[in-house]
Structure 1
Amino acid sequence: MLIQVGELARRAGITVRTLHHYESQGLLLPSARTEAGYRLYNARDVERLHTIQALTQMGLSLAEVRVCIENHSVGLSDIIGQQIAMLDSQISRMTTLRERLQALRNDIHAGREPNLSEWLITLELMKMYDRWFSKAELEALPFARKDPARESEWAGMVCEVKRLMDQNIPAEAQQAQELAVRWMTLLERDTAGKPDFLTRLNEMHAKEPQMQAQTGITPDIVDYVTRAFAESKLAIYQRYLSPQEYAYTRAHYFDRMTEWPPLVAKLHAAQAQGVAPSGDEGKRLAANWLELFTSFAGNNPQTHSKFREAMSKEPALSVGTWMTPEVLGWLQQAIAALMQSSASAR
């Protein structure tokens, strides 16, 4: 039995673009194609997709997933066992939430009746955030605070994105790009400029149905905004690159986009913890950064200098990236140390 790419994406709860990305990374290749060229997947392919999705949900990057699969370092039985353990933990947390809701209902029946809608929304969101953030982190996370003005601002943004999508406005359109930049600017503000908060919020949206219900931010909306935001960066880079360089960058810019936020979070953590840029950990993070950069910039040093020129002259390129001057300075030192080590090894 074979399944087409669209059906597999729908059943797996991901986008067709994600499957294409897995294919471009050599992680998941279709076993066959129809006469019309549509990708077809068999049971073994779906098993492999299960492994990829399970490992990424456990926090591994796609590069780490590839290593696990190629080295057969994690067995399918072990992966399923870890998933069961994660579900057991979720069931335990949901049971606690149910007990709290039951107690709330008992209070209402006894005549102690709050604003039910407000109570349920607040309780649901607070318990949901508690599952992902510590008390101290919640105090520092604007997104978790009850703020009618902020909530109204986000509701308006979601409506604007839905309107553009309903009107079939492409992500590369100027109005979509401008909206995406506003979206990412607000998101950077409401995650307190902490990329680790961003990665966990993304996971919450993927794994907590009530989060999507409360915010109205669906995977399709996230995909649209992400692409429009990338288009805003590409429009700037285009002014600095030759047509051939830009064509290469555009063809590969979206390939590994989901790997950037976790890497930026690691850079923040390393800089905050005082990790030496010239040490092994610093050079490892620098190598990871350069690998992602060259995946869309290519390997030509002259092209790289054009990207650096754009970054130095265009402040808009740093908007919505969660990169602070301190973290950028740390990264530059780590890259310099990596380059020096590479030169010495020759």
Structure 2
Amino acid sequence: MKLKIGELAKRTGLTVRALHHYDKIGLLRPSVRADNTYRLYDDDDVLRLYRIQALRRLQLSLDEIGVILDDNNISMANIVSQQISLMEKQAREALALRDHLLTLSEHLAGQQLPAVDDWLTALEMTVHSEKYFTPAELRALRKRRSAVDTADKSALIKALHKLMEKQVSPQDELAQSLSQRWLQRMQEESGGDAAILIKFYQMQSEEKALQLFSGLDQATLDYMVRALACTTLPLYEAYCLPDEMEVLRQHSLTDAAHWPALIAALHLECEAGTRVSHPKVQELVKKWLALSSRKAGNSPGLQKKIQQAFAEHPVLRMGIDNRLFDYLQSALKTVAL
């Protein structure tokens, strides 16, 4: 059987334009050239086309299909398994989006109209949150999220933006107060779970669309971290001399914003069960020690005082739960050895 391109299009339901495209990219080329210069498709070509159509139903790209058809060593069982995993992930995301839309529907029924950007922020969180949170964490978050005043969070961020525009120092009382209120809202949403809180930070820091809709970009996050660091300074006064307090105050304004990303990275390794002796963890701990040294103005004596305060005041361990604290202490011991 030899078919012209139009005949093959009719039999398969594809357009002539699609077949020309397959020819152009080398996915399916007519094998036979007739005397009248027509290029014809033979039985093998038709069989290849049916294979292409079958693989397209697995939502594979044309490039991926070409590789599969041209490599006899590729396992179709693995391809199908991967596609099943992808579809299951998409199904979970669809269900998460459905849950969010149901919550939104309840708000609308109660005439609690959300701002467009508030809704888009929640939508972006729904789409991306599976990358950062476990299914159990997501279920708990959805239950608590409806009770959190998102409008208040938005107002706090806008107020912080105004302070930043005026170049108000993070040491300012208003900057600290607004940052503490925002942290309180996040703690309410996370149920006071330090691990979830640091995951929130990581997601907000990495997802640019979420930053765009929420207004909480990296610069605002850093500003709040510095302001929050300033709020904890009084806890060190029982351990440190006045000149040492000035060193800590300067650190709050210059280096404090480096801590959350480092804590998030350590949390990932802790959660993954990575050994503290693993080179990746060792590298993170070295960064921790270097940042701790800068915080103490390279003074071993002040560094010991900071470590004592850190161990005795859990509030200083923002984003660090007991499990991560123990993991960090074990890792620090391996570096010291």
TM-score w.r.t. the length of structure 2 is: 0.52
Name 1:240's counterpart in structure 2.
Answer: 239
What is the DSSP-based 3-state SS (H/G/I as helix, E as strand, rest coil) of the residue aligned with 2:232?
Answer: helix
Query: Partners of 2:132 and 2:287 in 1: how far apart?
Result: 30
Cα offsets for 1:52-111 (capped at 9, x unmatched): xxxxxxxxxxxxxxxxxxxxxxxxxxxxxxxxxxxxxxxxxxxxxxxxxxxxxxxxxxxx
* Greater C-alpha Rg: 2
Change (3 A) 1:220 1:190: same
Name 1:270's counterpart in structure 2.
Answer: 269
Query: Partners of 1:246 and 1:138 in 2: how far apart?
Result: 40
TM-score w.r.t. the length of structure 1 is: 0.51
Q: How does 1:147-186 map to 2 (within 5 A)?
A: 147=146, 149-158=148-157, 161=160, 171-186=170-185
Same amino acid, percent of matched pairs: 22
Name 1:327's counterpart in structure 2.
Answer: 324
Query: Partners of 1:294 and 1:177 in 2: how far apart?
Result: 25
Name 1:339's counterpart in structure 2.
Answer: 336
Query: Partners of 2:116 and 2:152 in 1: how far apart?
Result: 21
Cα offsets for 1:145-203 (capped at 9, x unmatched): 86264314424534664687799975324454243223224324535633233122123
For 1:314, the aligned partner's letter is: H
Cα offsets for 1:185-243 (capped at 9, x unmatched): 43245356332331221233xx32x7545x45466754543332121123332442223
Q: Is the Cα–Cα contact under 8 Å of residues 251 and 295 in structure 2 kept in the other structure?
A: yes
Q: How does 1:27-176 map to 2 (within 5 A)?
A: 124-125=120-121, 128-129=124-125, 132-134=128-130, 137=133, 140-141=137-138, 142=141, 147=146, 149-158=148-157, 161=160, 171-176=170-175
Change (3 A) 1:188 1:119: closer
For 1:325, the aligned partner's letter is: N
What is the DSSP-based 3-state SS (H/G/I as helix, E as strand, rest coil) of the residue aligned with 1:245?
Answer: helix
Query: Partners of 1:331 and 1:217 in 2: how far apart?
Result: 29
What is the DSSP-based 3-state SS (H/G/I as helix, E as strand, rest coil) of the residue aligned with 2:298?
Answer: coil
Name 1:293's counterpart in structure 2.
Answer: 292
Q: Is the Cα–Cα contact under 8 Å of residues 138 and 144 in structure 1 kept in the other structure?
A: no
Query: Partners of 2:117 and 2:250 in 1: how far apart?
Result: 43
Query: Partners of 1:158 and 1:121 in 2: how far apart?
Result: 13
Query: Partners of 1:264 and 1:161 in 2: how far apart?
Result: 24
Change (3 A) 1:296 1:335: same
For 1:147, the aligned partner's letter is: S
Q: How many residues align?
A: 219
Name 2:254's counterpart in structure 1.
Answer: 255
Change (3 A) 1:200 1:144: farther
Cα offsets for 1:298-333 (capped at 9, x unmatched): 333321221122223334323xx2100110101101
Q: Is the Cα–Cα contact under 8 Å of residues 266 and 284 in structure 2 kept in the other structure?
A: yes
Query: Partners of 1:200 and 1:161 in 2: how far apart?
Result: 20
The structure showing larger relative contact order (alpha-carbon pairs under 8 Å, at least 6 residues apart) is 1
Name 2:19's counterpart in structure 1.
Answer: none
